[in-house]
Amino acid sequence: MTSETAMPITGQDMPVPYGVRLLSGWFATGGPTGLDEHLARFGAAPTGRAPATLADDVEAAGLTGRGGGAFPTGRKLRTVAAQRGPAVVVANGMESEPASRKDETLLALAPHLVLDGAVLAAAATGASTVHLCLPRTRSDQAALLGQAVADRNRVRLDEAGIRVHTLPHHFVSSEETSLVSWLNGGGARPRPTPPRPFEKGVGKRPTFIANVETLAHMALIARYGPDWFRELGGADAPGTTLVTLSGAVRNPGVYEMPMGTSARQALTVAGGPSSRLGAVLAGGFFGSWLPVPLDPAARPRGAGVLVALPEDACGLAETAAVLAYLGGQSAGQCGPCTFGVPSVAEDFAELAWGRPGAELLERLHRRLGLLPGRGACRHPDGAARLATSALQVFGDDVLRHLQYGPCPHAAEPLRLPVPADGPAAEEGWR
Amino acid sequence: MSRDHELTVDFAACDGHGLCAELLPERIALDEWGYPVLRDSAVPGPLLAHARRAVAACPVLALRLRPARRGEGPRTG
């Protein structure tokens, strides 16, 4: 992890109440929160009463998964706790979305909130082991978290044992079933469900898997209660969430904001657009394009990612590059994904940079219909969603490219942070 | 009762042999890469025997037939 990406805020004009919860320590001191400071600010995690009250409190708080799934966390906790046999807790810090830095930032600045949430989940589900899964590409981060765990062990803070793991950083390796497969000795690739991890996961035990941000929210709900949690955000979507803002905004970074904050407001928090915008990518490579001017109701989606695309960029070229990346990131297990996503990517590349014939759009639409719901995971679904939204939002560009060939911006350097190669394909899945 | 059974495909297991589409064209077509596309996952009574034959013919056991759950529409995938 570089300090450049870990620093969440570059702006000086940071409006209240942004960043008052998960990132409050950073606001108080401007640095990462060590164990002493964490205990002074929050006290120890109330694991003693977690078995009885945590699931109730989390459910009443209306906390939903912050990894993109938005599943009700309280219900997940309750389901795992109700299964037979000892459970296992997995903290998912894989953050494979290239446009997201929120998990990396949170783990750098408030590691003990995440670890508190994990040991609380362990207490609530009767688990004796917590597995923290981090990408192997962020080895500095793994070392820091290992140190944080050692600090806790030195003062015998936790009953549950916390183990830090580093996994291959493929796009699909952050899927819940990928983590389970890897922790069970296999490759970090998605597995078909059922069985769902909550019934049969790590070591065939019921397994509670949550994104690290979700766990950090749980750590605060356990201390301050559901009513406090609901003081920010909406009735349907309460609390705060971390959003990574990048692209053509004045102050790119990770910001904590109330749930339900519109994409337009979120851009303002990041200092506003730094040039005229052409579109906004909401939800990252797994999300969809939003047209500008932004609909006031449009919200950041998935795992809180917004990328502002300037007007003088080619949305079709950007999308084609992302699709090529996603095609290379297929785990190669399911035919429709292995062949379908690269085929769609090739069609898009022809649309963006080639001399597409009249039959291209028809073929592309047909292929896009062959992706959703036809894989062990949602990888093909995500690729199809992104491509479909690009065809809609950049509809005028599609017609121009079909008629005149590539636009002048198509050959320019990409604005989206598309990794040049898939993260070390030779690295494999173990 | 037309919805008492439903077909699912385990795409991680499926190798695209294509026998299912031969044996149950009423429900299964193949995409351009040779993998099954379920036109409709519901299997009504008259098709049940054909569906069972298709399931049994799959060399990698990727095609499955299960009783449809009540109150829940059949799913693909």
Convert the pLDDT of each residue in A335-372 to its tens digit: 999 999 999 999 999 999 999 988 999 999 999 999 99
Mean pLDDT of chain A, nearest integer: 92
| Residue A123 identity (one-letter amino acid) | A
Beta-strand relationship, B36-38 and B28-30: antiparallel
Q: Given this model, what pLDDT does residue A145 score?
A: 98
The CATH number fitting domain A13-229, selected from 3.10.20.30, 3.30.230.10, 3.40.50.11540, 3.40.50.620: 3.40.50.11540
Query: Which of A417, A428, A373, A364 is CA-nearest to residue A392?
Result: A364
Query: Which of A202, A177, A207 is CA-nearest to residue A76?
Result: A207
Is residue B2 very low, low, confident or very high in pLDDT (cuts 50, 70, 90)?
very low
Determine, yes or no, domain membership for B33: yes
The alpha carbon of residue A131 is apart from the nearest alpha carbon of chain B, in Å, by: 26
H/E element, A289: strand A288-291
The alpha carbon of residue B19 is apart from the nearest alpha carbon of chain A, in Å, by: 15
ipTM over 0.95: no
DSSP A104-150: HHHHHH-HHHHHHHHHHHHHHHT-SEEEEEEETT-HHHHHHHHHHHH
What is the distance between the alpha carbons of residues B20 and A45, in angstroms, rounded to a whole number?
55
Determine, yes or no, domain membership for B72: no
Q: Is A370 on the interface with B (CB under 8 A)?
A: yes
- Number of domains chain B contains: 1
Give the list of residues 6+ apart from residue A36 with CB closer than 8 angstroms, or none.
Answer: none
Convert the pLDDT of each residue in A140-176 to its tens digit: 999 999 999 999 999 999 999 999 999 999 999 999 9
Is residue A15 very low, low, confident or very high in pLDDT (cuts 50, 70, 90)?
very low
User: What ranges do the domains of chain A cover?
Assistant: 13-229, 240-310, 315-414
Determine, yes or no, domain membership for B77: no
Residue B4 has pLDDT above 90, yes or no: no
Give the list of residues 6+ apart from residue B43 with CB closer than 8 angstroms, or none.
Answer: B4, B5, B6, B7, B27, B51, B65
Copy the structure tokens of residue A146. 């290992």
- What pTM did the predictor assign? 0.90
Q: Cβ of A373 and B13 within 8 Å?
A: no
Determine, yes or no, domain membership for B75: no
H/E element, A163: strand A161-167
The alpha carbon of residue B15 is apart from the nearest alpha carbon of chain A, in Å, by: 7
Residue A99 has pLDDT above 90, yes or no: yes
Residue B71 has pLDDT above 60, yes or no: no
**Token pair 């429900």 is at which residue?**
B27
What is the distance between the alpha carbons of residues A54 and A171, in angstroms, rounded to a whole number?
32
- Percent of residues, chain A, with pLDDT higher than 90: 85
Instruction: Choose the closest CB to B11 out of A343, A367, A376.
Output: A376
Residues B47-52: contacts with CB under 8 Å, at least 24 apart? B48/B5, B50/B23, B50/B24, B50/B26, B51/B5, B51/B7, B51/B24, B51/B27
What is the distance between the alpha carbons of residues A306 and A248, in angstroms, rounded to a whole number?
10
| Interface probe, candidates B6, B17, B28, B35, chain A, greatest A C-beta count within 10 A | B35
Size of interface A-B (CB pairs under 8 A): 48
Convert the pLDDT of each residue in A361-407 to its tens digit: 999 999 999 999 999 999 999 999 999 999 999 999 999 999 999 99
| Interface probe, candidates B17, B31, B37, B38, chain A, greatest A C-beta count within 10 A | B31
What is the distance between the alpha carbons of residues B59 and A15, in angstroms, rounded to a whole number?
61
Copy the structure tokens of residue A125. 């589900």
Q: Cβ of A375 and B11 within 8 Å?
A: yes
Q: Which residues pair with A242 in a beta bridge?
A: A256
**Token pair 């309460």 is at which residue?**
A238
Comparing alpha-carbon positions, the chain B residue that sits nearest to A334 is B12
Helical packing angle, A102-109 and A212-229, nearest 10°: 80
Look up the domain containing B40 and give its range.
5-67
Q: What is the CATH number of the domain that holds B54?
A: 3.30.70.20
Second-level CATH architecture of A240-310: Roll (3.10)
The CATH number fitting domain A315-414, selected from 2.60.120.620, 3.90.1010.10, 3.40.50.300, 1.20.1440.230: 1.20.1440.230
Comparing alpha-carbon positions, the chain B residue that sits nearest to A342 is B33
